[in-house]
Amino acid sequence: MKELKDRIRRDGIIKSGNVLKVDSFLNHQMDIRLFEAIGQEFKQRFSDVEVNKILTIEASGIGIACVVARSFDVPVVFAKKTQTKNIAGEVYTTKVESFTHGRVYDVIVSKEFLGKGDKVLLIDDFLANGKALEGLARLVEESGAQLVGAGIVIEKGFQAGGKMLRKEGIRIESLAIVESMDEATGKIVFRGED
């Protein structure tokens, strides 16, 4: 998606440790016009399948998912990160390892809001090692819903998540796949470009 790649090149900041800071438009301050364009792009890419629910994970996925949901005219459910004990039976739950925060947390979705008959599109801002997306996919599987695919805004193509999850058969559409980035020069190479 050219508009997105241009924006990443213009406003993204490469930091040490393979960090791509895009918090001026994607995950702290949020450019809603860009989110609408992202929604239309996902709708086009997933035009061949039926979607009746979007699932994302708090916190930075929520805003994108809600604007994208307009293009699909479906509700959004967000999985909650929790450290509190939940009553067994009421929620689907899985564990997700966060490399950013260096810990494992529980991710839950109420059983009321996900189940058989749901055709679920996952939406998230980033795909890197794939742990969050893998967790969401497990929740969908546990619920008996059908996983239609995953729409990702920025994939770090040099990390293992995308390859691993595609190998597992998950259809992933990433709007910008960063093949490499150089902190010293600020140069970003996207997949499909020289």
Interface residue list for a second copy (CB under 8 A): 23-25, 28-33, 35-36, 58-59, 62-67, 69-70, 73-78, 80, 84, 101, 109-110, 112-113
> With respect to a second copy, which residue has the nearer C-beta, 30 or 164?
30
Residue 63 CB, nearest approach to a second copy (Å): 4
Residue 194 CB, nearest approach to a second copy (Å): 32
Residue 171 tokens read as 């259809």
Residue 183 CB, nearest approach to a second copy (Å): 19
> With respect to a second copy, which residue has the nearer C-beta, 39 or 130?
39
* 3 state SS of 100: coil
Sign, CA dihedral 39-44-46-52, equals: positive
> With respect to a second copy, which residue has the nearer C-beta, 101 or 116?
101
Amino acid at 20: L
Residue with tokens 């059908």: 146
Tell me how long the chain is. 194
Residue 136 CB, nearest approach to a second copy (Å): 15
Residue 21 CB, nearest approach to a second copy (Å): 10
Closest CA to 99 of 47, 160, 49: 160
Residue 117 tokens read as 């008959």
* 3 state SS of 70: helix
> With respect to a second copy, which residue has the nearer C-beta, 140 or 177?
140
If phi > 0 it is left, if psi is from -120 to 50 it is alpha, else beta; for residue 111 that is alpha
C-alpha span between 194 and 176 (Å, rounded): 14
> With respect to a second copy, which residue has the nearer C-beta, 147 or 177?
147
